[in-house]
Structure 1
């Protein structure tokens, strides 16, 4: 059993091969789709051991309880500027570019990359799924990109 699955066989690779937003070949090589078991373990350990999809979260899940602040991502996403929203960057300013991050759409769709790659390719990631949660390995801060355009700044409980 492999830690990773083929992104091209998943049907999700197209989001990283678009002309707009452009993701370089070097960055694409660093975006990995986690295998089913590995992804399920990350979901269980970092997101929820009770719910498989973010739209099913009840109010007792840490993603709904541990909200530090909210902002919005949609204006930055729709702009011609490539940069990530300032709120996101300032909230995660202590993350190094080599910090391992997991973009968690649901229990069976989790991408692994680095914070540096995510910052450059964040617009492409948001084509994947709504209400995705971004967590960093061994980091307490997290983000949720809500379908309604809200960017929720979170603090993980565990």
Structure 2
């Protein structure tokens, strides 16, 4: 089995929090991977060496600071009553809503969902903002969220 039931997921509360509950139809599409499958996704798409974004090695694609954009604020949009992602995200990513995405918190904590689900519920995903990276299956664009309320965009090879 590749997934953990959402009810058993250690961070389930970020999707069921009373202040920002996620619709039931979206909850069904938020699929945390098991630790083993998370590690495999992380190794294949993020890093074969580093356990999290704070420890990228020189051989990791994300370590190359030249590929990343300047830092862009996401905190202001997160704090607002508006549910939309910052416009810079939407200018950089034009994926179909049914595109499979991986929200990678760290090596043993990766969630699979659809781009449309992420767009509607991005604030929930960012309750934990300690360096997660969002990538799309078979897509080159990546977003790297920082705990200082900014994110960077990159095209990965």
Q: TM-score, normalised by structure 2?
A: 0.93
Change over 3 Å in CA distance of 1:37–1:11 after alignment to 2: closer
CA shift digits 1:59-111 (9 cap, x unpaired): 55322312134311100001111111100111002x10000000000011000
Confirm or deny: 8 A CA contact 1:73 1:150 kept in the other structure. yes
The secondary structure found in structure 2 opposite 1:138 is coil
The secondary structure found in structure 2 opposite 1:44 is helix
Q: Counterpart of 1:146?
A: 146
CA distance in 1, matches of 2:37, 2:134: 16
Q: Counterpart of 2:11?
A: 12
The secondary structure found in structure 2 opposite 1:134 is strand
CA distance in 2, matches of 1:48, 1:134: 13
CA distance in 1, matches of 2:57, 2:24: 39
What does residue range 6-155 of structure 1 map to in structure 2 within 5 Å?
A: 6-58=5-57, 60-65=59-64, 66-93=67-94, 95-155=95-155
Query: When you count strand as a share of all residues, which structure comes out higher?
Result: 1
Confirm or deny: 8 A CA contact 2:4 2:33 kept in the other structure. yes
Q: Stretches of 4+ moved more than 4 A in 1?
A: none
Q: TM-score, normalised by structure 1?
A: 0.92
Task: Name structure 2 gaps, 5 residues minimum.
Answer: none
Confirm or deny: 8 A CA contact 2:129 2:145 kept in the other structure. no
Report the count of equivalent residues.
155
Confirm or deny: 8 A CA contact 2:29 2:114 kept in the other structure. yes
The secondary structure found in structure 1 opposite 2:71 is strand
CA distance in 2, matches of 1:22, 1:84: 17
